Structure 1
Amino acid sequence: MAAPKLYAGAKLREVRTRVGLTQKDFAAKLGVSLPYLNQMENNNRPVSTTVVLSLAQEFGLDVTELSSGDGERLVSDMREALADPAFSGDMPPMADLRLAASNAPALAHAFLDLHRVYRQTHERLASLDEALGREDARARPSPWEEVRDFFHYCDNYIDAVDRAAEHFASVDEQHRDIRAAAVSALANVGASITLADTDTLRHYDPNTLTLTISTRASQESQTFQMLLQVALLRQNKLLEATLDFARFQTEEARSIAKIGLANYFAGAAMMPYTRFLQAAQDTRHDLEQLATAFGASIEQVCHRLSTLQRPGAKGVPFFFVRVDQAGTITKRHSATRLQFARFGGACPLWNVHRAFEQPGQFLRQLAETPDGVRYISLALDVSKSGGRFGAPVRRYAIALGCEVTHASELVYADGMDITRAEAFEPIGISCRICERKTCHQRSVPPLERQLSVDPDTRGVLPYTVN
């Protein structure tokens, strides 16, 4: 399959603006004519190899940023939004969506915000009795969705927080006990730690400066919660500065994001970027070895692998997702071209759903999306005990994967026939925007297609997608 042409007009304009050059001077630096630069910045021409090399040599640009995946994420999100029954008529051509994502990303984000407000207003009207007469009945963005999109469009990598966590983990000897480091850091601000048999995983009392951690939690979860509290107490200025930059619309979103950033710090401190990246490469991303080496859970390791997108030192671009038994996505991130449904569940043909049937086993899958991109996916059940008899068990499954072009870097790809097209199972994003016509697991018709219904014939589906 031929490599796709690289259109990166928005990134070129961003670089030129950042260095304060006119188009004429910027074109001279890149060794191209002014009209040629203008065409590239407007995505009328692809970025040439010569320009890519000049960007790296003249401006020190990490060329992988030119194809960061932001455009694909926007295209995927817009397609899902446009599949809403509220939009009549045909789906806009993919070329138009890609043009909007490349040339007018701010407009694309505004469209997604507008659609989100529409959905929330529609849901409020469905429960009109509750909404009538309330001062807060006006449509507002969901805090959870706002925070989710913040991390989504940051590529799930927060540089300042990541580097602060790495510095924290390397203050003393290289292989220090990170749990002991957390205890010491809390003691330096006068806080003490108490382990107690309680349902509450973590509780901090600001009056007594006491952090209580549940003994029912695993050792890695206990350590993680200690580091999270370190972030809240020792890195508060950094977290607040990052939140100021994000400009959340509500205090609820800001509060949720702060916990998200503290979680990010905890994971990055347990698995410091440079050392973890090297270990991941050395073990060929063996999750069990990495979990043992860094005192982390498999889920924590998978989540951390999906954040290794530091400019100039990027790891394998992974997708990471967690689903519950109903198929609802509770965590999602993709540094690959694979994007997840913003609303609803994941494709039922994906192996993450089968993990519930075979707990404790790593399930491997070769999969192909409708755009022809092929992936290797690893799924695992990560159900979490309540810590005592009779306590409810939280059932989750996670999936980690990457494009098959990186298969040689994954120990889990060994023995899989990645050269045979028939080995790849067809998966999609969501039924409403999936282009596959004969999928036996389709729940609803694709909205951009015409249907034919023959009362005398019944196939896999009760209709035919034209």
Structure 2
Amino acid sequence: MATQKLYAGAKLREMRTRLGLTQKDFAAKLGVSLPYLNQMENNNRPVSTTVVLALAQEFGMDVTELSTGDSERLVSDMREALADPVFADAMPPMADLRLAASNAPALARAFIDLHRSYRQTHERLASLDEALGRQDALTQTSPWDEVRDFFHYCDNYIDAVDRTAEHFAGTVAAPQDIRSAATAQLTARGVVVAFVDMELLREFDTNRKILRLSSRVTPQTQVFQMLLQLALLTQDKLLEATLDLARFHTDAARSIAKIGLANYFAGAALMPYRTFLAAAQDCRHDLERLSLQFGASIEQVAHRLSTLQRPGTKGLPFFFVRVDQAGTITKRHSATRLQFARFGGACPLWNVHQAFETPGRFLRQLAKTPDGVGYILLARDVSKPGGSFGAPIRRYAIALGCEVRHAGSLVYADGLDVSDSGSFEPIGISCRICERKNCHQRSVPPLERQLTINENERGVLPYQVS
């Protein structure tokens, strides 16, 4: 079997620059010639095994960082952007997209940002609403998308925040004691914790130092909100320093990101990295057992599994997504090659949409994307009651999945025939960029294909995809 060549020129250049070394000095430390290093940095040659070993021995580098996860993510995003009708027949070859993602990642991200700005402006113009009369409505980018992209390209792992939360959790004897530990930390800072019958999940009175938590929500949610508030009170300098490095374009994006980082701290404190990773591996990623062990909700556990990307001690590469009843993606992250569409909902063939029909049950699915990669998908509803009669119920479903080659590490793969290609259901990312020609659930034609219309024939679709 042929070994896949590793091209990582951009990451080699980034590491050399960070170390403050010239190409000549860097080449000497790696034990290669200057021309050879130059060719590797420009992706004219793959990174050799000798260089990989030298990076690990000389610089202590985690060689898994050389993987092409970021490049694949950029290729997926560029391909989706280029599927926009504005580019017509200008779709570059896949090889060119991969070359741009690996050799010029900053340029690739700038192109994606430019297309997103165009798309947002175009959608505002098409809506013909009152926003057309406001000058800022045509130029302002979405703070929410900016923050989501920040976490997306950080692999949903923020090292400094994660380690600080893990350190806090290390002062707690057992996961079951995290509630009392959080209460003690808040009390030590003069904060009174009160449980009140209210619709808000959390309310902090800064003047009187009273933290009010809803008595209607689950104990897991209460603990999570306590840890979130603790992060805002005790880790402000860390959160602000992280935000400074992110360089968000608007104050709104920075504010949203700060709440996101505080949420990250809460999840990491509730499920500290090394302890949680070991427990997940021990029970083969059984969400219910992890939920009981760490006093977290199923959704919190699933989301935490998707963040285990610490260099040197990475967990299983999962994707995580949450959708509402309309199919709109409200949370998304992928540490796998499978990426989510920026616009529209998830593929209707994913089992995540069926989870609403079977509340309280886990649904399993073997699926294959158009690129031939097989996945095992797990879906479950996570509807959230309002806590009183007549209160609205927030209905969501989550999906957690990984490539089928990791099936042995998942308890949910037991009993599934992963060797039978007929067991895999063909899925896509979104209809407008999906290459499948005869999908019975296709909602719109693929933008990259020519269509043939025959008034004398009618198949599954009212057109034929070339």
Tell whether the structures are fold-level matches, with TM greater than 0.5: yes
- The equivalent of 1:34 in structure 2 is 34
Deviates more, 1:124-133 or 1:421-430: 124-133
Distance (Å, rounded) in 2 between the aligned partners of 1:179 and 1:306: 24
Inter-CA distance 260–129: structure 2 relative to 1 (3 Å threshold): closer
**Cα deviation, residue 119, structure 1:** 1.5
1:421 maps to what in 2? 421
Distance apart, 1:442 and its partner CA: 1.2
Q: Which residue number in structure 1 is paired with residue 341 of structure 2?
A: 341
Residues 62, 278 of structure 1: alpha-carbon distance in 2 compared, 3 angstrom cutoff:
same
Distance in 1 (alpha carbons) for counterparts of 2:358 and 2:132: 48
Contact 1:306/1:334 (<8 A) preserved: yes
- Secondary structure, in 3 states, of the residue corresponding to 1:289? helix
CA contact (8 A) 1:374 1:424 kept: yes
Q: Would the aligned equivalents of 1:306 and 1:319 in 2 still touch at CA under 8 Å?
A: yes
Cα 1:172–1:201 change in 2 (3 A) is: closer
Within 1, Cα distance between the matches of 2:412 and 2:3?
A: 25
Conservation of the 8 A alpha-carbon contact between 2:305 and 2:318: yes
C-alpha distance in structure 2 between counterparts of 1:160 and 1:235, whole Å: 11
How far the C-alpha of 1:164 sits from its partner, in A, is: 0.7
Greater displacement, 416-425 / 259-268: 416-425
- Tell me how far 1:373 sits from its aligned partner: 1.2
Work out the CA distance in 2 between the residues paired with 1:141 and 1:4: 39
Contact 1:323 1:397 in 2 (8 A): yes
1:51-70 equivalence runs, <5 A: 51-67=51-67, 69-70=69-70
Q: Secondary structure at the match of 2:229?
A: helix
Q: Which amino acid aligns with 1:449?
A: R
Aligned-partner SS, 2:435: coil
Q: Whole-Å Cα distance in 1 between the matches of residues 239 and 64 of structure 2? A: 27
More deviation, 344-353/113-122: 113-122
Identity %: 77
Which residue matches 2:462? 462
Aligned residues: 466
Residue in structure 2 matched with residue 115 of structure 1 by the alignment: 115
Match of 1:369 in 2: 369
Distance apart, 1:32 and its partner CA: 2.5
Amino acid at match of 2:465: V
Gaps of 5+ in 1: none
How far the C-alpha of 1:90 sits from its partner, in A, is 3.8
* 1:277 match: 277
Pairing of 1:178-257 with structure 2 (within 5 A)? 178-257=178-257
Structural mapping, 1:45-444, within 5 Å: 45-67=45-67, 69-127=69-127, 130-131=130-131, 134-173=134-173, 175=175, 177-444=177-444
Asked if structure 2 preserves the Cα contact closer than 8 Å seen for 1:90 and 1:448, the reply is: no
Secondary structure of 1:341's counterpart equals coil
What amino acid is the match of 1:170?
G
**Alpha-carbon shift at residue 58 of structure 1 (Å):** 1.3
Question: The residue matched to 1:95 in structure 2 has which SS?
Answer: helix
The 8 Å contact of residues 13 and 41 in structure 1, kept in 2 or not, is answered as: yes
Distance 1:10 1:164 in 2: 30
Q: Distance in 2 between matches of 1:126 and 1:341?
A: 21
- In 1, Cα distance between the equivalents of 2:166 and 2:272? 5
1: distance between equivalents of 2:283 and 2:330? Answer: 28
The structure-2 alpha-carbon separation of the partners of 1:450 and 1:172, relative to structure 1 and needing over 3 Å to count, comes to closer
Q: What displacement does 1:134 show?
A: 3.2
Bigger Cα displacement from structure 2, 453-462 vs 374-383: 453-462
Letter in 2 for 1:223: V
SS at match of 2:431: coil
In 1, Cα distance between the equivalents of 2:413 and 2:435? Answer: 28
Shift of 1:34: 2.3
1:384-406 Cα offsets, whole Å, 9 max, x none, are 11111111111111000111111
Give the Cα–Cα distance (whole angstroms) in 2 for the partners of residues 414 and 132 of structure 1: 55
Say which SS state the counterpart of residue 301 (structure 2) adopts: helix
1:436 maps to amino acid: R
SS at structure 2 position matched to 1:432: helix
The letter of the residue matching 1:49 is T
Deviation digits for residues 157-196 of structure 1 (CA, Å, limit 9, x no counterpart): 0000001101111124355611111101111111011001
Assess if the C-alpha contact under 8 Å between 2:125 and 2:132 holds in 1: no
Aligned partners of 1:431 and 1:445 also within 8 Å: yes
Deviates more, 1:51-60 or 1:2-11: 2-11
Cα displacement (A) at 1:25: 2.4
Quick one: distance in 2 between partners of 1:176 and 1:455? 66
Any idea what SS the aligned residue of 1:461 has? coil
Letter in 2 for 1:209: K
Q: Once structures 1 and 2 are overlaid, which stretch shifts more, 17-26 or 284-293?
A: 17-26
Kept in 1: contact 2:175–2:294 (CA 8 A):
no
Distance 1:180 1:295 in 2: 13
Residues in 2 aligned to 1:206 and 1:311: alpha-carbon distance in whole angstroms: 38
- Check conservation: 1:169, 1:176, Cα contact below 8 A: no
Tell me which stretches of 4 or more aligned residues in structure 1 moved more than 6 Å: none
The whole-number CA distance in structure 1 between the counterparts of 2:364 and 2:200 is: 35
| Structure 1 residue 114 displacement after superposition | 0.9
Q: How well do the aligned residues superpose, as a CA RMSD in angstroms?
A: 1.5
Amino acid in the other structure paired with 1:391: A
How many Å separate the matches in 2 of 1:10 and 1:64? 15
Q: Which one-letter code corresponds to 1:21 in the other structure?
A: L
After TM superposition, give the deviation of residue 49 of structure 1 in Å: 2.1
Query: Once the 2 structures are TM-superposed, how far is the Cα of residue 443 of structure 1 from its aligned partner?
Result: 1.3
Structure 1 residues 213-247: Cα deviation after superposition (integer angstroms, max 9, x where no partner):
00110000000000000001111111111111111
Distance in 2 between residues matched to 1:351 and 1:29, nearest whole Å:
50
Closer, same or farther: CA 218–367 of 1 in aligned 2, 3 Å: same
Which 10-residue stretch deviates more, 135-144 or 271-280?
A: 135-144
